[in-house]
Chains A and B, each alone.
Chain A
Amino acid sequence: MTNVFRGCGAVFYKEVLHVRRDFATLFFSLIIPILQMTLLGYGIDTNIRQINTVVFNADGRRESRELIDRLKNSDTFHVMRHVQNDRDLNDMIVSGRARVGIKIPVDYSDRLLHQMSAQVLVLIDGSDSSVAGPAINVTTAIGLDESLRRVLPSGASFAVDMRPKLMFNPDSRSPNFFLPGLTAILLLNVTTFLTSFSIVREKERGTLEQLFVTPVRPMGLLLGKLLPYLGIGFFELSMILGFMRFVFRVPIHGNVLLLAFLSLPYLFVSLSLGILISSKANTQAEAMQLAFLTILPSVFFSGYIFPRETIPAVLYPISYFIPATYFINIARGIILRGAGLVHLWADGLALFVLGTVLLILAARRFHNKVIMA
């Protein structure tokens, strides 16, 4: 009678029956991640290309047309219209039809021919900072490059030649960046929701009360409930990884088995979170709200969409308590950077510690608020 996991097998058997019978819930909880992946994989591209650009070329000679061609060829600008006066140039930007306006003055070619500095006006719509940044960078770079070409004798090389090399994601593909992080959010979704629902449902039905009067030990009950959802979480992880690899063509540079291994502490954390939620919530609607509450910080403070560096210093420490922070680092590390256990053990350990703390907290709350209530 000292088996603290007593009843685990029986509860596991029952949970599997529930899942099989409620196939629709399972189906949707597995299909929605695929939908989210498709949206994020195809729909979101953080690389700014083809910014709508309006040009007022007051000069019109060869030098000015060459400059416009260079802007076009950068792939950053899409010249959608040529105008003939300042007012039209301005209107196009104010109305939002163009983000960038380029005005080449009438004396552009003349000044270049006389070795004088020629000015080009670049108007940029600052209302969208993610567009403004690349627009500034690319126009500045093109201006600098043009100047150097004119100053340096032909055949001469730059004194300092910066050679930036993008490691791991050389084409800056957005799916490569988003999808590994998305695994963290989706796993959290499914496991936390499903576990908390499965416990809260028993609260609503009154069957939990019944179970406490049987020899089932609380740890046996919780473990028996966690294991099936751990299995589902694992299945979902494989599904997401397969989809990511073969549909979105995100190469996996590291060891998939290591990723599977390190996802264990992460699943452990999110399942414990599910138990914690179920100790608080009395209805499935309440559980749903609480579960959403855990999703938001995971999206915003984990570095999933916005880099953690952009979090204000006051809020930065929060990111250390978000399990997704560690798993996103693990997933991106293994998938994109080919990192090994040597690089990622600390993240795994952090997750394990978080999970243990949460489970103890959840078990205590469960004991005090649910069993003894």
Chain B
Amino acid sequence: MATEPQSPVRAAISAEHLVRRFGGFTAVNDVTFRVEKGEIFGFLGPNGSGKTTVIKMLTGLLPLSGGSAHVEGLDVRTDSEAVRERIGYMSQNFSLYYDLTVEENLKFYGRIYSLEPARLKRRMEEIIQLNGLGPYLKRLAAQLSGGWKQRLALGCAMLHEPQLLFLDEPTAGIDPVARRQLWDLLFELSGHGITFFVTTHYMDEAERCSHVAYIYYGKLIADGTPDSLRQLPEVQPDGTRRVEFTAPEVTRALRLARGIPGIRSATIFGQSVHALVDENLSLDGLRRELAENGIAVDEIRPLAPSLEDVFVELTYKQESLLEAASD
């Protein structure tokens, strides 16, 4: 082990050249990434791009067609049962038994992981404390609101003190307050060294992750911290920069802005326009340029690319590569 530069034992997850084929279709194509302990790893991608397949491979549910993967230092190909012993998993539909009470749901998962009675009791108290489930113990899971269902599901998934938790779209369909509370909880737990593997469609959630990866039709096209991704040359091509300006008639402003030489791309964000422009075009120069075209700009300022910008740019690039390959 000592001879290997990147020992798989150290990482929470280490996936190397993962491949999964279904017949002639390659759902996951040569995916390599590494998640360190204590990270909140955001795994993003459109529906059907292979996110769930990757999770299934990492949890030992799907055999690998190629490559290798270690979870908590264990080879998923040979030790999938020990892997499942050490991880927690929460699916997007919270997978609770609605006709069981909160307490019974917790007890059931405790038994599934064969917790001894004393440990189960202690863990249940800790979970109830942490998630604030106390007042609802005797209530049927069906009667909980979305946010509370999600807390209960999270509680069930971490009853056996896993060091790594897979959360598959944990915030889909719950209210904003519950969403924020969940993230606060994730930060707190991650402070205790627990690793999270989170899939999401929310860009603001991706921004909160310490490490994000983007999968697009089976290929991993981005992998790094949100900041390092923003610095990618593909996202910020040489000789360009991003600006944001606000204007009264934002849709008309966008249409006109797209016709101005020096503006490479532009899109609307709320009441403002985000644009990728030539670097030698100064802010004042741009304001003049826009005014000449009849756009009275209220405010104009430089802008760092958002993760959404990053994924959009990378997706365009990937698509053009695919098109070139198919021609």
Q: Is the CB of B95 within 8 A of A372?
A: no
Contact of A14 among B81, B91, B108 (CB under 8 A): B108
Q: Is the CB of B91 within 8 A of A211?
A: no
Contact of A213 among B89, B93, B98, B100 (CB under 8 A): B89
**Does B85 belong to the interface (CB within 8 Å)?**
yes
If A206-B91, A209-B95, A211-B112 touch, whether A17 touches B104 (CB-CB below 8 Å) is yes
A219 to B112, CA, bound (A): 14
A7 to B109, CA, bound (A): 10
**Does A155 belong to the interface (CB within 8 Å)?**
no
Residue of A nearest to B153 (CB): A210
Q: Is the CB of A14 within 8 A of B84?
A: no
Q: Is the CB of B99 within 8 A of A9?
A: no
Q: Is the CB of B87 within 8 A of A205?
A: no
Residue of B nearest to A206 (CB): B93
Q: Smallest distance from the beta carbon of A202 to chain B beta carbons, Å? A: 9
**Does A223 belong to the interface (CB within 8 Å)?**
no
A214 to B83, CA, bound (A): 9
- Interface residue tally on B, bucketed by range: 20 to 34
**Does B111 belong to the interface (CB within 8 Å)?**
yes
Q: Is the CB of B82 within 8 A of A213?
A: no
Q: Smallest distance from the beta carbon of A158 to chain B beta carbons, Å? A: 72
If A17-B104, A205-B95, A206-B95 touch, whether A213 touches B62 (CB-CB below 8 Å) is no
Q: Is the CB of B61 within 8 A of A21?
A: no
Q: Is the CB of B112 within 8 A of A214?
A: yes
Interface residues of A in 1-16 (CB under 8 A from B): 1, 6-7, 9-11, 13-14
Q: Is the CB of A215 within 8 A of B96?
A: no
Q: Is the CB of A22 within 8 A of B59?
A: no
- Interface residue tally on A, bucketed by range: 20 to 34
Interface residues of B in 85-144 (CB under 8 A from A): 85, 87, 89, 91, 93-100, 104, 107-109, 111-114
Chain B contacts for A97, CB-based, 8 A: none
Q: Mark A248-273, 1 if CB is under 8 A from B, else 0.
A: 00000000000000000000000000
Residue of A nearest to B85 (CB): A215
Contact of A10 among B61, B87, B112 (CB under 8 A): B112
A17 to B104, CA, bound (A): 9
Q: Mark B60-86, 1 if CB is under 8 A from A, else 0.
A: 011100000000000000000110110
Q: Smallest distance from the beta carbon of B141 to chain A beta carbons, Å? A: 10
A214 to B112, CA, bound (A): 7
Residue of B nearest to A21 (CB): B99
Interface residues of B in 168-217 (CB under 8 A from A): none
Chain B contacts for A209, CB-based, 8 A: 91, 95
Q: Smallest distance from the beta carbon of B197 to chain A beta carbons, Å? A: 12
Chain B contacts for A21, CB-based, 8 A: 99-100
Q: Mark A226-265, 1 if CB is under 8 A from B, else 0.
A: 0000000000000000000000000000000000000000
**Does A212 belong to the interface (CB within 8 Å)?**
yes
Q: Smallest distance from the beta carbon of A20 to chain B beta carbons, Å? A: 10
Residues of B within 8 A of A (CB): 59, 61-63, 81-82, 84-85, 87, 89, 91, 93-100, 104, 107-109, 111-114, 166
Residues of A within 8 A of B (CB): 1, 6-7, 9-11, 13-14, 17-18, 21-22, 205-207, 209-217, 371-372
